[in-house]
Structure 1
């Protein structure tokens, strides 16, 4: 009897813990704007409240994608500020100043797995590592030019290199998406070959322009912030259009 009662209490506590997951609430426009500006990527559920369809599913997804801050906004003034007309889950990202909307009424099904996928696919940052999931967000972005950092992740000096190049990304918001191609990952060998590179020759920096389907490599040398910035600015001035392209393979996808 006591053992059964003890087991019942444990199960009840576990279920209560699962059900009592509450998302931070944004109660006005000022709080909502501050939350949007607080990180490179945030998700806001513009919902009526905790009983709204999609709330519990969003809370469950938030527990699984802890790299992204998630909150719920119930303020109608804030809804108007972001032109939200009905219950919507929105992902805001600074890398390209874009917002991805999932309108609850238009979604075929709302479940945690689907919301996790929605977040992961659209989670573009100032430096986004290329993989099958992020490729969707990268190629769906309005920004079609990619500054590519080819580097062997985990190698000597990798983190410092990533931070040095990534620090430039805010300067080129809306002009470039900064993308990391991990040369140590076998699935990325095709991307290296497309640029005529081998993993042993990294790090290198390249530019891919989706509008013209052209690509260029920064000449070998130190991957300094100054050289990368000059490379980006040369592209924006149109000075790379006549420069020799990198690699020889026909482009199909990164």
Structure 2
């Protein structure tokens, strides 16, 4: 709580309010803003008249779950390997910076920026759907820790928060993904692991590099059990364990 308050104060002290967004005036302010949330967007643009500024203002109103800021200082741009007007999204979950260089976009519209933000909105625990799937599978982190549960169940929120709190321990190694078993389109994902809605909640690991998958044995989904499961994968111990849903032939 104190850390979050400190970061908030640091951003506000090194930033000016510039129209719709806070203006970040130095690298320290940018770093603090990036560290203030799971996902943030920064418009590295020359000014409010720059192509992309008004579109970003409109997009930010439509995606209010992602903080947006603005930086005009080109010396700061260089610290993030940028040399021209760029809209960047920063993610903590995989230490990722994705850049949309304004000059390379023929038709820059608010809807396009909304799509850019939402498809890359990968968090410490990301709810799987057709939109977030793009960012998840485009990430350089190819291993997913999957929480299969049902929205509305008595333990849904608790499990999501518990695993979300554990996810930072595996930054850059695993992405934590929530799959809602009540969503019809997710039935293929459950089937891929040999699961049915009545089996939930369960936890599994999918390794995109080897196309292998494993389930945490049924039982309490505690922080300790999930942490040990993740560590077993990283140590290579799961390679000798029978894959989950080995008889299933469907794909994610």
The verdict on a shared fold, with TM-score over 0.5 as the criterion, is yes
Query: How far apart are the structure 2 equivalents of 1:144 and 1:106?
Result: 28
Query: Which runs of no fewer than 5 residues in structure 1 stay unpaired?
Result: 1-19
Trace 1:49-64 onto structure 2 (pairs within 5 A). Answer: 49-64=47-62
3-state DSSP class of the match of 1:142? coil
Which residue of 2 is the match for residue 137 of structure 1? 135
Contact 1:213–1:251 (CA<8 Å) still a contact in 2?
no
Q: Which is greater in Rg? A: 1
3-state SS, counterpart of residue 102 of structure 1: strand
CA distance in 2, matches of 1:166, 1:31: 26
SS at match of 1:167: helix
Q: CA RMSD in A?
A: 1.1
The normalised TM-score by structure 2 is: 0.91
SS in structure 2 at match of 1:59: helix
- Aligned twin of 2:219: 221
Q: CA deviation at 1:21?
A: 5.6
Answering whether residue 156 of structure 2 is matched by residue 121 of structure 1, we say no
- With normalisation by structure 1, the TM-score equals 0.90
1:251 CA drift (Å): 5.4
Report deviation, 1:120: 0.3
The residue number in structure 1 matching 2:12 is none
In 2: Cα distance, 1:74 partner to 1:56 partner: 15
Q: Aligned residue for 1:90? A: 88
- How many corresponding residue pairs? 234
- Matched with 1:43 is 41
- Counterparts of 2:31 and 2:234, CA distance in 1: 31
Q: Which residue of 2 aligns with 1:10?
A: none
Q: Deviations over 1:153-193 (max 9, x none)?
A: 12112111111111110000010000000001111011111
Distance 1:107 1:249 in 2: 42
Q: C-alpha separation between the residues in 2 aligned to 1:58 and 1:165?
A: 32
Deviation at 1:32, TM superposition (A): 1.1
- In structure 1, the residue matched to 2:236 is 238
